Amino acid sequence: MTMDLTFLGTGSAYPSPHRGASAVVLRTEGECWLFDCGEGTQTQLMKSQLKASRITNVFISHLHGDHLFGLPGLLCTVSLNLNPCSTQPPACVNIYGPQGLRQFLRVALELTSSELIFPYTVHELEPTTDQSPPEGQLSPEVTADSGRLHPQERPGRMIALDVSSDCYILLENKHFIVKAFRLFHRVPSFGFSVQEQDRPGRLKTELLKELGLKPGPLYGRLKAGESVTLESGQVVNPIEVMEEAIPGRKVCILGDCSSILGEGPLMACHRADILVHEATLSDEHREKAVDHGHSTPSMAAAVAQACCARRLVLYHFSQRYKPAGLHKEGDDDDVLELRRQAEKALQGTGIEVSLAEDFLTIRIPIVRLH
Amino acid sequence: MTMDLTFLGTGSAYPSPHRGASAVVLRTEGECWLFDCGEGTQTQLMKSQLKASRITNVFISHLHGDHLFGLPGLLCTVSLNLNPCSTQPPACVNIYGPQGLRQFLRVALELTSSELIFPYTVHELEPTTDQSPPEGQLSPEVTADSGRLHPQERPGRMIALDVSSDCYILLENKHFIVKAFRLFHRVPSFGFSVQEQDRPGRLKTELLKELGLKPGPLYGRLKAGESVTLESGQVVNPIEVMEEAIPGRKVCILGDCSSILGEGPLMACHRADILVHEATLSDEHREKAVDHGHSTPSMAAAVAQACCARRLVLYHFSQRYKPAGLHKEGDDDDVLELRRQAEKALQGTGIEVSLAEDFLTIRIPIVRLH
Ligand SMILES: [Zn+2]
Ligand SMILES: [Zn+2]
Ligand SMILES: [Zn+2]
Ligand SMILES: [Zn+2]
């Protein structure tokens, strides 16, 4: 199964002609998962190779406009462009994000008389009070929903912190486990970890034939991890006749933050193949960055190192940093300097550093350990 | 005073890489008035020569997302880019639009913890029940506002239809009168007429000198329309010593509609210098257009003719119509065909037809009648 990550917007605070507002798509075969949806994401999607209609899950890291204002319009446009005569009933779009997201979407769709031809569900994450300064916390009367579901809205869950793992379990199926974890920002913010399940290795069919085992039900039992007894009485253990397991990949995408919170992020992101972390300002502006709830490259590097990530990708750059291709000799703010700062902080660790740019796609290869 | 109109988005339904969602700016000296604010308007503004910080009035024709979803983000970005240390207190931004707009904006700003450094007011227009099919009308519980004003929100008016003029009086000052009028669409929609006040002509200073009148207080009295008696006993009437009055210009911008409603639009748009009217689909698709509450070029032409407008500008094109510059030989949907259809319908009337394109600016000259 191929997996890749496409950045649709890498700018902070607002979309500009040079950098869209936050939006990242994780694509696996046939499905797109969207992480954040700043204003203009639908237009960035149209400019990319991705299909908006393939979006099945949306994850909103926090309720700042540059991560959210594109969501109502995106859903409307996906609906307009779906074939209403399709024989297959459209799948439900699952939307995960902080408490208050349900009411935001409901009011935006309801007041604009936006009909959708597919169902959607909002699952809300309950933040803890230490995820932001007190003034960043929304009062219950603000986050409370109206009680009037949109005609296409299906009731969603309220997901509380799982104290033992210090994270939020969002979904688990035979391919993936997705968790959220807590970050500190001006408003409660979350990161997401997508862990692909390990898959059993292939059967060594040549070896099985030598043992006299022909393709059939016994192959299935071996694949499922059971031992099999041959007519000769010989017991065949799965481990003897199977290739090494295919290790699941792990992709972690963090929302805006000036720090991670608790043990959850470290556990959820441990040995991530890719850790996507914001770096809004350069190390020289660390104080200002932290004041605004943001990080610098060396702060992002410290998180990557604490998680033993394989690769760190920086994004969510202040709009003062033009894309490298537009940088002119003598300009003050060079985005490449952000990469150098992270690289310097990670010297000797073997952790690779990349800068995201709008429309950059990164493949996530399977890494075999032996 | 110069006046011009800049189209920031000319596409219908959603923003695309070829056409932004609806947004038009009327610029007079120093001020920008924004008509509709679809998603991506702030980015289109950045690409244009206009300054978002100059926006003092916003008019929303109707509560469809392609005319509205850019508004919360635009206000946030204007605020971020205003100088917080400016000695002048920032002016209040006045926002006019249908009932429900206040709650939309309040919820969007409140849930995203969006602080603004300038005050804003939403003045709501009360639609009548004949502006849309029943299913397009929002129930009072949906349009009701939360009662919690945003910290920067100033209480706004509820503006009801003025039955005698069949229109809504939005603002009147020494330069302009702005009215709204009713349109029929899938949801209640409005058009706006901006009428510049006539200004007195210049004094004929050569003539005044011949009469022995020197610059001074008497000049002011003549300009104000008073007669003046010279030492010789001769009475000078203003009309004898003043150039012709400078006629006020009239710019009318209509929201989505399949028809105008009542006498209001005809009176408010009578002899408009520019009438901006939607033409979502071509005349061949008239039935579909009307079904969706939209117009075709010959429908727009009929409105222009009924209003005795000088110039008709078409906009809000289906995204199937690429800008003329991108049209390829053999493509089905040619936007120039929309102009031809309107021109044909207006043959012999002298009404000029133009197609809007993103970033097109149209100057509105003073037309002297004699
Ligand atoms: Zn952000
Ligand atoms: Zn943020
Ligand atoms: Zn529209
Ligand atoms: Zn509409």
Which single residue is written with the structure tokens 């914001």?
A278
Q: Which residues of B touch A148 (CB under 8 A)?
A: 141-142
Indicate whether A368 belongs to any domain: no
Domain with B222 in it: 205-241
Provide the annotated active-site residues of B. Answer: 66
Of A64, A70, A142, the CB nearest to B110: A142
Point out the residue among B73, B138, B148 whose CB comes nearest to the CB of A69.
B73
Are B116 and B210 in a shared domain? no
Judge: B69–A104 Cβ closer than 8 Å, yes or no.
no
Q: How far, in Å, CA of A116 to CA of A81, rounded?
A: 11
- pLDDT given for residue B314 in this prediction: 98
Q: Are residues A103 and A185 in the same domain?
A: yes
Give the Å distance between the CA of B290 and the centre of ligand 3.
13
Of B241, B263, B298, which residue constitutes the final position of a domain?
B241
Based on the domain organization, do A232 and A353 belong to the same domain?
no
- A230 and A272: one domain? no
Task: Give the pLDDT of residue A370.
Answer: 56
Asked whether residue B229 falls in the same domain as residue B305, the answer is no
CA distance linking residue A294 with residue A257, whole number of Å: 5
Q: B211 and B193: one domain?
A: no
Instruction: Let me know if residue A169 belongs to a domain.
Output: yes
Are B107 and A107 in contact (CB < 8 Å)? yes
Per-residue DSSP letter, A54: G
Query: Is A370 within the bounds of a domain?
Result: no
Total number of domains in chain B = 2
Which CATH number covers residue B133? 3.60.15.10
Does residue A74 come out as left (phi exceeding 0), alpha (psi in the -120 to 50 range) or beta? alpha
Same domain as B95, residue B51:
yes
Chain B nearest C-alpha distance from A131 (Å): 15
The secondary structure of B258-280 as a DSSP string is SEE-SSHHHHHTTT-SEEEEE--
Same domain, A212 and A352: no
Cβ of B112 and A186 within 8 Å? Answer: no
Among the partner-chain residues B40, B114, B142, the one whose CB lies closest to the CB of A110 is B142
Both tokens of A111, joined, read: 């007041």
- Asked if B142 and B100 touch (Cβ cutoff 8 Å), the reply is yes
B369 assigned to some structural domain: no
User: Is B269 part of any domain?
Assistant: yes
Ligand nearest to the CA of B292: 4
From chain B, the residues in CB contact with A70 under 8 A are: 39
Q: Output the pLDDT for position B222.
A: 87
**A124 contact residues in B (CB cutoff 8 A):** none
Catalytically active residues of A, by annotation: 66
- Residue B370 counted as domain residue: no
Measured CA to CA, the distance from residue A255 to residue A259 in angstroms comes to 10
pLDDT tens, residue order, chain A (370 aa): 899 999 999 999 999 999 999 999 999 988 999 999 999 999 999 999 999 999 999 999 999 999 999 999 999 999 998 887 878 888 999 999 999 999 999 999 999 999 999 999 999 999 999 999 999 999 999 999 888 999 999 999 999 999 999 999 999 999 999 999 999 999 999 999 999 999 888 888 888 888 888 888 888 888 888 898 888 888 989 888 888 888 899 999 999 999 999 999 999 999 999 999 999 999 999 999 999 999 999 999 999 999 999 999 999 999 999 998 888 877 788 999 999 999 999 999 999 999 999 999 999 998 876 5
**Same domain membership, residue A267 and residue A212:** no
Query: Which pLDDT score is estimated for B369?
Result: 62
CA-CA-CA-CA dihedral for B160, B163, B166, B171, to nearest 10: -50
**Would A369 be classed as within a structural domain?**
no
- Evaluate whether residue B334 is within a structural domain: yes
CB proximity list for B323: less than 8 A, separation 6 or greater: B18, B19, B335, B357, B358
Q: Measure CB to CB from residue A104 to each of B13, B77, B108 and give the nearest one.
A: B108
Are B260 and B219 found together in one domain?
no
A230 and A315 both lie in a single domain: no
Give the distance (Å) from ligand 3 centre to CA of residue B293: 9
Domain shared by A114 and A230, yes or no: no
Contact B46 A107 (CB under 8 A): no
Decide if pLDDT at B146 tops 90: no
Q: Mutate which of B12, B42, B80, B112 to test chain A, going by most A C-beta atoms within 10 A?
A: B112
